[in-house]
Structure 1
Amino acid sequence: MTQPIYLGIVGLGGVGNAFLEQLGRLRDPPRLVLLARSTRTLSSPTPAYSPCIPFTDWETATRSSSLIQSNALLPAEIAKFLASAPGRAILVDNTSDLILAKAYPMFLRQGVSVVTPNKKGFSEDISLFNDIFASAVQGNSLIYHQCTVGGTLPVLSTLRDLIATGDEIIRIEGVLSGTLSLLLGQFMPGYGSSDAQWSSLVSHAKEIGHTEPDPRDDLNGLDFARKLTILARVIGVEVARPDSFPVESLIPAELSSLSSSADGITEFMTRLPNYDDRMNMAKDAARKQDKVLRYVGSINVSTRAIKVGLEHVEKGSPLANLHGSQIVSIYSKRYAASPLVLQGGGGGGEITAMGLMADLLKVMERLR
């Protein structure tokens, strides 16, 4: 007889709601006993942890009088609740919250496994990264974070498989931002040409939801740098923090100090056209070399050199042909002449939820 699995979910945005919907289609789902958003928490009564929360939307679930409703719980309270369940427990963190990410070691030491797309815990200070995995060993728990890099692309699992089977990683390069892939693919297509101005492309992408609410969160390169930091650490290149290597920001320096408020975002978008000439110059420089402009990250294992920024890439190459998708090329001892290439869309609520579900199923199989 299989052991019941008790599940807590934090975060009910686009990914969280899609994940809930997919949970409801499982043949043998875990027992959902905690559902939390930024201001409210829904949980099963203790000590029986029954009834379970239905796999439905938040509003419908809160109508159940048999469930406990409370204010937002602290990570320590959530960890205690899940660790006390009469069976193995899993936390699914759908947020990008640093405070919760810093609490992963606490969950793991108490035997609560963690599944998450939250990059913060794996790309902040190296001490937190090491503590997370040491705590999983200590608590006999599991940590799966495939979706922190490349969405559903099996980047991390592929790297771990290569290393576990004796391969040696030489170099990794790629584009790990779907937004910057889309913008630069429109700004300078791999085939043909475009006269579109950079600021107009950014504005349009923002309007249709292809950027973060504040486009500067895409343009500053920090999210890309976090992903590269995770890749480096997984293959054994210790990186202290995601700002400890060169990261080229596409935000004009004159606009970098604007407020992150709604007014600051509006001012940024209003003033950005004044700096289109800089991106036009970068495009012209690439064109003179008969190359294409792309925003690329790379890791050289032997030199420990890591960088993120604009590069001129060969026409006809996989990088040049990108138009919104992500790509990772892995050069190793076995794949020295021809790299192992992983490419795909990788992002979006439904797709990310699918990647989370795959991780959850792996954890459930191992715990049972």
Structure 2
Amino acid sequence: MSAPRVFDIPLPDLPLEAGAQVQSHVARGWWWGPEGDLPWLQSRALLLSEESVHAQAPRVVRRTRDESREFASPRDALPPEDSVPTVLLIHALTGDMRAGGPGGWWEPVIGPGRALDPGSARLLCFNNLGSCYGSSGPADEGFPRRVEDRRFGPPAPLPKGDLRIDEAPLPATLTPWDQARAILQALDALGIERVSLVTGGSVGGMIVLCLAVLAPERFERIAPIATTQASSAWLIGWNHVARQAVLLDPDYPEAPARGLELARQLATLTYRAEAGLEARHGRPPDWSSRALYPLQSYLEYQGAKLRARFDARAYLALLGAMDHHDLERAPTRGVQDGWGVARIRASALCVGIAEDQLFYPEHMKRLAERLRADGRHAEYAELSSPHGHDGFLIEWTQLDALLRRALALPPGPEAAKPRLETGEAAPEVNLLLLGRGTVGGHLLEQLREQAPRLARERGPTLRVAGIADTRHLLFDPAGVPLERWRERLDETHREDAGTGPLLGTLERLRRLPNPVLVDCTAADGMGPLYAEAFQRGIHVVTANKKPLTLPWEERQRLLGMARAHRRAWHYETTVGASLPVLRTLADLVRTGDRVRRIEGCLSGTLGFLCEQLTEGVPLSRAVRLARERGYTEPHPREDLLGLDVARKALILARELGLEVSQEDVEVESFVPRELLEEEDVERFLRSLESLDGTFASRLAGVRAEHRVLRYLARIEPPRERGQRAVLRVGPLAVPREHPAARLRGTEAFVAFTTERHAEWPLLVQGTGAGGAVTAAGVLADILEVTR
């Protein structure tokens, strides 16, 4: 068994519930565990020397902006040993991360042979967000201010003579949801996926409950002590008076020393009970009008001690966090239904303190009853102490027994088993969306609109945990608010537009229930990212055709990985937008039919262009119009080259089991290839004006023959061994009785000629382009994952 260690770990920027954002985010943690655990910790975090820890304990840590930015993420991180259970401890209001060892706030119950034995468990504790002992907080330069609480708009200006406090010097609003999310970020950075027990008292108990609600699948057991489901008016009232003592100090905001002392004295009275105070600080035998009573001396001592070791702005932030505690208020707007205690899956030991005058024990009794009513294993236990609320920091014998009891609880049934596999009912699905353009933007809007209907019909809860484009990356395990996803995303920044930085995001996504990677990009090089997703147990839904047109061996390897990890890979929209083309083909093959030919207009974009040209619209204007309506690829040449249709034809052919590649598709572009080399979109669109006359003449000839111009794909499997498959795409003048001639606008169609559908092909027809219809197809694929 090693000695306890303190460490720092850099974390992603953290958006706060009230709208500000913690940048250059750092957590300071404490670890004690088996000797073999140390190399893992060293690979993940920056370990502090024992000398620096002792020199700073307990002392305020104030970081400059440069000091906060200098932390580098570790490389070559080792995974934690799965056989070592993790116990997470959460400290109270002004505590720190040093839970055990010399000076630790739970030192008597932590150590060899004690309830929390570092020889058999990995013990972790983090300094809470907003504190001042090493984790990001108001003592740091650059910590956000209250005026940055964007969720509720800018503060109103104070008229002259208004006695309300100016918000400018105040720290940004924190809530226990924010503090819990910071801890989840730290667990992610350490690679900790599952926690055997999380426990803490008072404010620590609030954060324990928030963790169990935010990430129910990660916590097997919880032991909240002397806390509540939501802060009461009683608690908020005490905090208000304490806050005023600080704010009304004449030296506020620079150094409200006396105000901080008085706030602590008031708090101390709520932490204790009459019997304990009387026993330790009762009346002296002698009386003097000039002498302090023992209790007065004790309160002055407690106030002076906190003033010497704590930051006043941090104290204000933490009081506010207590006030804002409410498990039933979702930290993200728009996901209120089903939020709160009902999400907890862990087994629970809810501990009340009989003499507690701050959090009455009835709070913990009611929580245990509520959990049992929801079908959870929940027990209530009561600690008795003449010292009141602080009994969980004093009554060591009782606490030791309670912690052993908590560790012996059966693990929560849904926290202990892996995430739901494909085919099971999915109460919650967490999405990481790549691409916020035409399709991705429509998808986010449809998710926002459909959430109430799915909730009414007891359908799955679809939560967008992350959004990424080439310049931004936003991830929030509690869910991105879809009412303002653009503002939240634009507040972030991404240095590297490649897929490498997304691996860390996949690691965070995999820890959420039923994770799904949704690719609405047209990017190259996504195959390796899909492979990483499958290996992490993440489903993939894609509208991106390129991974499906990789060399045959690479495509088969990806399909094999999805099957091996029992993950879904849905890509219906890659061929027909929202049309069920691939599903229809799969049903034909599964039922034993033999496909002889597939013919179709697979591009709603080119169908739209053909119709516009037929109506006399110049080519250059028709392409601009298609791009303005969101029908084309980001660069329209992808459509005009015919490559988009060629990819769709290749995907269809491979669904038939044909071992073919892109080179096997015979492609005739819609316009001459030499005009399609221009990279700049605007110059490319202008260059098409040179073809307006040529296309007008061509269309006049087609009309004279009573035909209609269409861009067709044709696929014919070989009928005999040794023959080659026919894969051809290109423009064609079809007779007016041809099914393609009847298409309008962006309609697409596919005709399947099979042994059973020989005389009259099976047709699939409908709108085949546009962000909204493609997004609807993506949404259908996501819902298919939940089935």
TM-score, normalised to structure 2, is: 0.41
Instruction: Give the aligned residue type for 2:637.
Output: R
Give 1:37's aligned residue.
469
Give 1:5's aligned residue.
429
Q: Alpha carbons of 1:61 and 1:306: their partners in 2 closer, same or farther (altered >3 Å)?
A: same
Deviation readout 1:276-298 (Å, 9 max, x if unpaired): 45435644554565432211110
Shift of 1:60: 4.7
Distance 1:229 1:139 in 2: 26
Instruction: Give the aligned residue type for 2:667.
Output: V
Distance 2:566 2:672 in 1: 48
Q: Alpha carbons of 1:23 and 1:282: their partners in 2 closer, same or farther (altered >3 Å)?
A: same
Equivalent residues of 1:20, 1:56 under 8 A apart: no
1:1-368 mapped onto 2 (5 Å cutoff): 4-24=428-448, 25=451, 26-27=454-455, 28-44=460-476, 49=477, 51-61=478-488, 74-83=501-510, 85-188=511-614, 194-206=615-627, 210-212=631-633, 214-241=635-662, 243-257=663-677, 259-262=678-681, 265-266=682-683, 268-276=684-692, 278-280=694-696, 282-283=698-699, 286-287=702-703, 289-302=705-718, 303-324=724-745, 325-365=747-787
Q: Alpha carbons of 1:350 and 1:255: their partners in 2 closer, same or farther (altered >3 Å)?
A: closer
Equivalent residues of 2:431, 2:517 under 8 A apart: yes
Residue correspondences, number: 346
Q: Alpha carbons of 1:40 and 1:125: their partners in 2 closer, same or farther (altered >3 Å)?
A: same
Distance 1:167 1:319 in 2: 24
Distance 2:627 2:785 in 1: 36
Unaligned runs of 5+ in 1: 189-193
Distance 2:475 2:630 in 1: 33
Distance 1:364 1:179 in 2: 31
Q: Alpha carbons of 1:136 and 1:209: their partners in 2 closer, same or farther (altered >3 Å)?
A: closer
Shift of 1:205: 4.0
Shift of 1:155: 0.2
SS of aligned partner of 1:297: strand
Distance 1:154 1:224 in 2: 17
Give 1:191's aligned residue.
none
Q: Alpha carbons of 1:332 and 1:261: their partners in 2 closer, same or farther (altered >3 Å)?
A: same
Deviation readout 1:70-97 (Å, 9 max, x if unpaired): 75662422332223x0543211111112
Distance 2:769 2:629 in 1: 15
Deviation readout 1:165-197 (Å, 9 max, x if unpaired): 111111000111112111212323xxxxx5554
Equivalent residues of 2:431, 2:518 under 8 A apart: yes
Equivalent residues of 1:20, 1:57 under 8 A apart: no
Deviation readout 1:286-316 (Å, 9 max, x if unpaired): 4565432211110011251110011221213
Q: Alpha carbons of 1:247 and 1:33: their partners in 2 closer, same or farther (altered >3 Å)?
A: same
Q: Alpha carbons of 1:285 and 1:124: their partners in 2 closer, same or farther (altered >3 Å)?
A: farther
Shift of 1:200: 4.4
SS of aligned partner of 1:103: helix
SS of aligned partner of 1:307: strand
Instruction: Give the aligned residue type for 2:485.
Output: W
Q: Taking CA–CA contacts closer than 8 Å with sequence separation of 6 or more, which of the two structures ends up with the larger relative contact order?
A: 1
Moved over 6 A (4+): none
Deviation readout 1:223-259 (Å, 9 max, x if unpaired): 1111111111111122212x432111123244243x3
Distance 1:161 1:133 in 2: 19
Distance 1:36 1:149 in 2: 24
Deviation readout 1:32-62 (Å, 9 max, x if unpaired): 3322222222223xxxx4x333333324546
Q: Alpha carbons of 1:244 and 1:56: their partners in 2 closer, same or farther (altered >3 Å)?
A: farther
Percent sequence identity over matched residues?
A: 34
Shift of 1:137: 1.1
Equivalent residues of 2:575, 2:648 under 8 A apart: yes
Q: Which moved more, 1:286-295 or 1:155-164?
A: 286-295
Distance 2:518 2:630 in 1: 25
Instruction: Give the aligned residue type for 1:56.
Output: E
Larger radius of gyration: 2
Q: Which moved more, 1:120-129 or 1:247-256?
A: 247-256
Distance 1:284 1:63 in 2: 49
Shift of 1:151: 0.3
Instruction: Give the aligned residue type for 1:79.
Output: L
Q: Alpha carbons of 1:156 and 1:36: their partners in 2 closer, same or farther (altered >3 Å)?
A: same
Instruction: Give the aligned residue type for 1:93.
Output: D
Q: Alpha carbons of 1:344 and 1:307: their partners in 2 closer, same or farther (altered >3 Å)?
A: same
Shift of 1:206: 4.5
SS of aligned partner of 2:430: strand
Equivalent residues of 2:650, 2:665 under 8 A apart: no
Equivalent residues of 1:186, 1:323 under 8 A apart: no
Instruction: Give the aligned residue type for 2:501.
Output: L
Distance 1:328 1:56 in 2: 37
Distance 1:11 1:32 in 2: 13
Instruction: Give the aligned residue type for 1:249.
Output: S
Equivalent residues of 1:75, 1:100 under 8 A apart: no
